[in-house]
Amino acid sequence: MKAETNTAGAAQDDPACSARLPLAARNGPVSMLVSRVARLHRIAAGKLLKGLGLYPGQEFLMMHLWDTGPVRQSELIKAVDLDPSTVTKMLQRLEQAGHVRRRPDPEDRRAVLVESTETSCALLTEVQRSWGELEEQTLAGLTPDERVQLARLLTRVEANLCTETADCPEEARRAALR
């Protein structure tokens, strides 16, 4: 304990190096970090997906469709938890791009049945690959242990944000108390 006049004498109790951070964000260094990581991650995903003819965000819709087969649009909306209007427009574009087919539900004439087209099955493989690539790019240099740790912490954070948003997909309280 010597020759370490400390970085800046005073309060060094913030999780991230809050140096060179906007003053207004000093109260939330991790939030700032989350925002930046979020943006970079979305950009990286977008870059990988662009080559496949998908726009960022459409992946999640397609993923659900691949998993479930034909679904009612209302189901899909609940699953991805987006605004109905958002899903409508995305589906219109995905349909025009040939990735998705829509037809009225004979059981309920207000509803719409959605399913992925056959040609989109090739996409499934590619998306899977891209998603793995993104994962590795994201976690490069982290030990398996650190990865587990990160996943654990992010799950807790997700639960926190979920409960407050009152939008918890049923796993909120489970993870919150872990």
How large is the greatest C-alpha to C-alpha distance in the chain, in angstroms? 78
Q: Is 16 in the site for a second copy (CB under 8 A)?
A: yes
CA distance 168 to 15: 27
> Which of 23, 51, 96, 118 is in the footprint of a second copy by CB under 8 A?
23
φ, ψ of residue 117 in degrees (nearest 5) = -75, 170
Amino acid at 129: R
Q: Is 86 in the site for DNA (CB under 7 A)?
A: yes
| Range in contact with DNA (rule: CB under 7 A) among 6-14, 88-96, 115-123, 152-160 | 88-96
| Range in contact with a second copy (rule: CB under 8 A) among 69-77, 92-100, 105-113, 120-128 | 120-128
> Which of 89, 103, 147, 152 is in the footprint of DNA by CB under 7 A?
89
Strands 100-104 and 71-72 come out as unpaired
- Tell the residue number behind the tokens 């040609």, with chain if given: 119
| Range in contact with DNA (rule: CB under 7 A) among 7-15, 71-79, 120-128, 141-149 | 71-79
CA distance 102 to 71: 10
CA distance 116 to 54: 14
Q: Is 87 in the site for a second copy (CB under 8 A)?
A: no
**Four-residue CA torsion sign, 79, 84, 89, 91:** positive
- Closer to a second copy by CB, 43 or 55: give it: 43
55 in Cβ contact with 89 (< 8 Å): no
Smallest gap from Cβ 104 to DNA, in A, equals 8
| Range in contact with a second copy (rule: CB under 8 A) among 69-77, 87-95, 102-110, 125-133 | 125-133
- Residues in region 50-69 near DNA by CB under 7 A: 55-58, 60
Sites of contact with DNA (CB under 7 A): 39, 43, 55-58, 60, 72-74, 77, 82-86, 88-93, 102, 105, 108-112
